[in-house]
């Protein structure tokens, strides 16, 4: 086939590039390829082009090295052109009827109401959804071989006549149908299991094409349950690449393909919406070609170009949405600018017994500029656990309150809200600021009072959970919203906030060091400040893998730490015993550890305690009424206990690496040496061991996140809910980092101002249909 011929030319050029052959050797190699494939070349109309290329590669004595180099470049270009010309195509036959891309899928021929319901389950509701429904694989049915030449394990097409058939009843449930199929080179056995309908097709003397894998059985070549197509003559067989779609119950691959054939006809009417400069810069296939090419590619080259182009399409559109949103948010004026005096913050800084790190100073400076600016702040403050984000947010809160505004601080749980409240009231009340706590646990009568005071402006700072935005809380003058430890607080929630008030400044803080690509997608509309430096004097936490059988020495170590007045966490994946999983659990280990360390006080924390019970346990640990805290992962984020020096995590493989990193960050928050023990089963497999090992070697949250992303994939990275990250169909957030980055850079240049968008109505329309709902773009476009 023609793709193989062009690839052979390509291969020779690669050999030359690798220095494995000389320029002079190209011509004879090309010549023999051309000669051996003369028929294919001629039939596909390539003869003239190949002649030109041959002439171009003729070895000439007069050619200098430099000109050979240039010719090699020219040769590469010619081959590229050849590929684009002969290996890529599009649907050209005009369908009778034009259907709008958003036409309900049930109106496509061969679909109908009943099948449409099944397609809906696959996420296909419209014609356009089908365009963008990627196959999970392809079957290359271009390789027709003679039976004699068919090699074991190869997937090929055989064309032959049925010469014999037999039916073997093995038992009640299993009947085997064997057919001997012959061509002019040999015989192959084609076998089916229980599919008795094949009998009626594969009668003796019938000619058929079979597609399947070649196997050997008792010295005979065999194909098991191949796809087949009865034909009149060899010419009836269409050698093509077919899509293999992900399916669901109630629909066959063949049906999907038939529907696809119908649907894809309609790409005839598609018009490119990507601006020419994107197509040029990234060398993308035109819309018609790239859609056709993921379903019915003319060649493997076509398929790959299509996937590549659709990845870019997806990345470009997504980044456009993000940057558009960012610009749009910047455009919304705050109404008035805040007058930041900085007197109170000076006072506050003097009360601290440490100096801010350079990174903290820089981040605060960036935030202050946003506060003063007439446009609302949308900033992410990113910094590893313990890097000191709180103090930076406090500075912003103080500034805003001094300027006569109110601030709201939101936390993911009420335990954290309470701890945060304690810290903030200790720091801010001496400065004369009024601060309250508002969570689900707050008494109803207190709630009413608090809401009243917020409305009157008698309270400066309210600390709480996300309920603050959901409830009907009104502010007199909300100037700043701080969202702590909230990597799940997506674009939509932020837009919700903005819709609510008169554009408060928003500061999102996260210790979840998300990998670059995810940050770019999830926080694509935010400005970022990074605290990439730990406070001075911190000793790096030592992470130690310990075998279950070594538990005793672990306990001895823990005891020594306790004797020095330090505190210890024990963390378990389960609350209580489970029949299905043989894992240690918090409740029974709480009992065991209370005995092992009987002279010390042990607390127990898990998600089944009521919020006030949780608060109580946490409080006691903070106040050092407990020396040991046995817990599930509820202790995960944000909690600050300076005397805690040991974190023991049992069954660490039950946690994600990023979660382990968060847990580890609960210790090492002072100048004492801290330790994190990962207790590993003696018979744990190598994968677990190597994963834990690489985790123990780094303290860098970003590195952990990258490792985690590689192991778990982006879907699970954020936990079950994805909150605003659209599902990408083509992009792979791990593999396609470069595509995302390139697109982002290009889009930033392209969309310098919002107005520049108006020149591209098609693009705008596409963006709206694509992301209108999921990113609430409807509100702003």
Return phi, psi of residue 178, to 5°: -110, 135
The window from 65-73, 252-260, 356-364, 542-550 that contacts ligand ADP (CB under 6 A) reads 356-364
Q: Exposed, middle or buried: residue 533 (CB in 10 Å: 0-12, 13-18, 19+)?
A: middle
Find the shortest distance in angstroms from Cβ 281 to Mg ion. Answer: 41
d(CA 684, CA 533): 35
Question: Do residues 220 and 276 touch, judged by C-beta distance below 8 A?
Answer: no
d(CA 181, CA 166): 12
Residues 708-767 binding ligand ADP (CB under 6 A) are none
The option from Mg ion, ligand ADP, none interacting with 356 (CB < 5 to 8 A, set by class) reads ligand ADP
From residue 9 to residue 48, what is the string marking binding to Mg ion with x (rule CB under 5 A)? ----------------------------------------
The option from Mg ion, ligand ADP, none interacting with 376 (CB < 5 to 8 A, set by class) reads none
Find the shortest distance in angstroms from Cβ 386 to ligand ADP. Answer: 5
Work out whether 714 is an interface residue with Mg ion (CB under 5 A): no
Return phi, psi of residue 597, to 5°: -110, 60
Pairing type for strands 207-213 and 227-230 reads antiparallel
The beta-strand segments (E) located in 184-300 are 186-193, 207-213, 215-217, 220-224, 227-230, 241-244
The option from Mg ion, ligand ADP, none interacting with 267 (CB < 5 to 8 A, set by class) reads none
The option from ligand ADP, Mg ion, none interacting with 386 (CB < 5 to 8 A, set by class) reads ligand ADP
Closer to ligand ADP by Cβ: residue 379 or 389:
389
The option from Mg ion, ligand ADP, none interacting with 708 (CB < 5 to 8 A, set by class) reads none
The window from 92-100, 237-245, 384-392, 646-654 that contacts ligand ADP (CB under 6 A) reads 384-392
Question: Do residues 619 and 647 touch, judged by C-beta distance below 8 A?
Answer: no
The window from 405-413, 492-500, 636-644, 668-676 that contacts Mg ion (CB under 5 A) reads 636-644
Closer to Mg ion by Cβ: residue 299 or 390:
390
Question: Do residues 567 and 420 touch, judged by C-beta distance below 8 A?
Answer: no
Work out whether 513 is an interface residue with ligand ADP (CB under 6 A): no
DSSP state of 585: B
Find the shortest distance in angstroms from Cβ 484 to Mg ion. Answer: 6
State which of residues 135, 388, 479, 652 lies at the interface with ligand ADP (CB under 6 A): 388
Work out whether 511 is an interface residue with ligand ADP (CB under 6 A): yes
Work out whether 701 is an interface residue with Mg ion (CB under 5 A): no
Closest CA to 108 of 296, 258, 294: 258
d(CA 656, CA 545): 16
d(CA 762, CA 274): 8
The option from Mg ion, ligand ADP, none interacting with 126 (CB < 5 to 8 A, set by class) reads none
Work out whether 385 is an interface residue with ligand ADP (CB under 6 A): yes
Find the shortest distance in angstroms from Cβ 510 to ligand ADP. Answer: 9
Find the shortest distance in angstroms from Cβ 360 to ligand ADP. Answer: 6
> In sequence order, what are the residues at sequence separation of 6 or more whose Cβ sits closer than 8 angstroms to the Cβ of residue 366?
379, 527, 529
Work out whether 265 is an interface residue with ligand ADP (CB under 6 A): no
Return phi, psi of residue 174, to 5°: -135, 120
The option from Mg ion, ligand ADP, none interacting with 535 (CB < 5 to 8 A, set by class) reads ligand ADP
Closest CA to 332 of 724, 776, 754, 748: 754
Residues 554-573 binding Mg ion (CB under 5 A) are none
Residues 622-641 binding ligand ADP (CB under 6 A) are 640
Which residue is associated with the tokens 């200790």?
426
**What's the residue count for the chain?**
781
Question: Do residues 88 and 288 touch, judged by C-beta distance below 8 A?
Answer: no
Find the shortest distance in angstroms from Cβ 531 to ligand ADP. Answer: 7
State which of residues 115, 257, 295, 389 lies at the interface with ligand ADP (CB under 6 A): 389
State which of residues 387, 465, 510, 615 lies at the interface with ligand ADP (CB under 6 A): 387
The option from ligand ADP, Mg ion, none interacting with 640 (CB < 5 to 8 A, set by class) reads ligand ADP
The option from Mg ion, ligand ADP, none interacting with 314 (CB < 5 to 8 A, set by class) reads none
Structure tokens at 597: 């360390």
The option from Mg ion, ligand ADP, none interacting with 614 (CB < 5 to 8 A, set by class) reads none
Find the shortest distance in angstroms from Cβ 456 to ligand ADP. Answer: 31
d(CA 559, CA 601): 12
Backbone dihedral region of 378: left (phi > 0), alpha (psi from -120 to 50 degrees) or beta?
Answer: beta
In the sheet that holds 406-411, the strands lie side by side as 435-438, 461-465, 406-411, 478-483, 505-510, 378-383, 527-531
Question: Do residues 243 and 295 touch, judged by C-beta distance below 8 A?
Answer: yes
d(CA 319, CA 308): 17
Work out whether 638 is an interface residue with Mg ion (CB under 5 A): yes
State which of residues 390, 439, 486, 632 lies at the interface with ligand ADP (CB under 6 A): 390
State which of residues 160, 412, 535, 573 lies at the interface with ligand ADP (CB under 6 A): 535
Q: Helices 23-36 and 65-86 sit at what angle, rounded to 10 degrees?
A: 30
d(CA 197, CA 230): 13
State which of residues 82, 391, 397, 463 lies at the interface with ligand ADP (CB under 6 A): 391
The option from ligand ADP, Mg ion, none interacting with 669 (CB < 5 to 8 A, set by class) reads ligand ADP
By CB under 6 A, how many residues form the interface with ligand ADP? 16
Question: Do residues 482 and 420 touch, judged by C-beta distance below 8 A?
Answer: no
Return phi, psi of residue 107, to 5°: -85, -5
State which of residues 83, 666, 669, 744 lies at the interface with ligand ADP (CB under 6 A): 669
**Residues in the site for Mg ion, rule: CB under 5 A?**
638
**Residues in the site for ligand ADP, rule: CB under 6 A?**
354, 356-357, 360, 383, 385-391, 511, 535, 640, 669
């Amino acid at each position: 086939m023609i793709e193989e011929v062009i690839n052979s030319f390509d291969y020779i050029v690669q050999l030359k590039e690798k220095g494995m052959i000389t320029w002079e050797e190209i011509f004879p190699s090309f010549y023999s390829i051309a000669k051996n494939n003369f028929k294919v070349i001629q039939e596909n109309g390539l003869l003239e082009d190949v002649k030109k290329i041959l002439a171009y590669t003729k070895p000439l004595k007069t050619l200098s090295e430099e000109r050979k180099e240039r010719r090699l470049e020219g040769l590469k270009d010619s081959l590229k052109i050849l590929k684009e010309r002969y290996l890529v195509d599009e649907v050209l036959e005009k369908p009778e009827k034009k259907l709008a891309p958003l036409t309900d899928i049930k109106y496509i021929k061969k679909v109908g109401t009943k099948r449409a319901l099944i397609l809906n389950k696959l996420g296909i509701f419209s014609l356009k959804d089908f365009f963008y429904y990627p196959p999970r694989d392809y079957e290359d049915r271009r390789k027709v071989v003679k039976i004699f030449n068919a090699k074991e394990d190869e997937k090929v097409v055989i064309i032959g006549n049925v010469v014999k058939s037999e039916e073997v009843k093995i038992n009640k449930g299993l009947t085997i149908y064997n057919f001997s199929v012959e061509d002019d080179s040999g015989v192959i056995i084609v076998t089916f299991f229980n599919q008795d309908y094949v009998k009626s097709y594969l009668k003796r003397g019938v000619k058929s094409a079979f597609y399947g894998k070649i196997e050997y059985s008792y010295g005979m070549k065999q194909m098991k349950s191949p796809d087949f197509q009865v034909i009149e003559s060899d010419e009836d067989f269409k050698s093509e690449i077919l899509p293999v779609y992900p399916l669901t119950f109630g629909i066959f691959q063949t049906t999907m393909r038939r529907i696809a054939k119908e649907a894809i006809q309609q790409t005839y009417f598609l018009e490119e919406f990507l601006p020419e400069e994107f197509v040029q810069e990234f060398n993308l296939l035109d819309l018609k070609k790239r859609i056709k090419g993921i379903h019915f590619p003319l060649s493997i080259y076509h398929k790959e170009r299509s996937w590549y182009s659709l990845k870019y399409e997806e990345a470009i559109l997504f980044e456009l949405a993000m940057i558009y949103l960012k610009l749009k948010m910047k455009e919304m004026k705050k109404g008035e600018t805040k007058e930041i005096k900085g007197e109170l913050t000076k006072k506050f800084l003097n009360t601290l017994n440490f100096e801010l790190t350079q990174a903290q100073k820089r981040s605060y400076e960036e935030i202050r500029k946003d506060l003063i600016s007439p446009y609302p702040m949308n900033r992410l403050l990113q910094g590893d656990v313990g890097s000191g984000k709180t103090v930076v947010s406090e500075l912003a809160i103080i500034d805003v309150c001094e300027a006569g505004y109110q601030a709201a601080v939101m936390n993911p749980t009420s335990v954290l809200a309470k701890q945060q409240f304690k810290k903030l009231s200790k720091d801010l009340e001496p400065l004369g600021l009024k601060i309250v706590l508002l969570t689900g646990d707050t008494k109803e009568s207190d709630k009413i009072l608090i809401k009243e005071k917020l409305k009157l402006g008698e309270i400066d700072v309210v600390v709480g959970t996300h309920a603050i935005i959901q409830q009907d809380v009104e502010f007199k003058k909300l100037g700043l919203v701080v969202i702590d430890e909230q990597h799940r607080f997506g674009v939509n929630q932020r837009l919700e906030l903005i819709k609510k008030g008169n554009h408060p400044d928003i500061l999102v803080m996260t210790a979840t060091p998300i990998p670059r690509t995810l940050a770019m997608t999830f926080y694509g509309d935010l400005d970022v400040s990074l605290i990439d430096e730990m406070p001075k004097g911190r000793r790096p936490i030592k992470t130690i893998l310990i075998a279950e059988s070594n538990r005793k020495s672990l306990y001895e170590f823990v005891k020594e730490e306790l004797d020095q007045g330090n505190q210890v966490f024990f963390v378990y994946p389960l609350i209580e015993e489970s029949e299905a999983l043989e894992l240690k659990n918090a409740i029974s280990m709480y009992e065991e550890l209370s005995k092992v360390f009987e002279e010390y006080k042990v607390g127990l924390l898990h998600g089944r305690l009521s919020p006030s019970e949780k608060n109580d346990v946490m409080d006691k640990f903070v106040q050092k009424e407990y020396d040991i805290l046995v817990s599930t992962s509820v202790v995960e984020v944000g909690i600050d206990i300076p005397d805690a020096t040991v974190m023991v995590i049992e069954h660490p493989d039950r946690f994600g690496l990023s979660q382990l990193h968060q847990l580890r960050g609960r210790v090492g928050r002072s100048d004492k040496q801290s330790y994190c023990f990962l207790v590993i089963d003696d018979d744990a497999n190598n994968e677990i061991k190597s994963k834990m090992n690489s985790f123990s070697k780094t303290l860098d949250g970003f590195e952990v996140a990258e490792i985690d992303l590689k192991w778990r994939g982006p879907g699970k990275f954020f936990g079950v809910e994805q909150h605003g990250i659209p599902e990408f169909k083509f992009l792979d957030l791990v593999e396609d980092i470069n595509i995302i980055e390139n697109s982002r850079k290009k889009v930033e240049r392209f969309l310098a101002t919002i107005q520049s968008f108006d020149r591209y109505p098609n693009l705008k329309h596409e963006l709206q249909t694509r992301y209108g709902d999921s990113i609430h773009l409807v509100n702003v476009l």
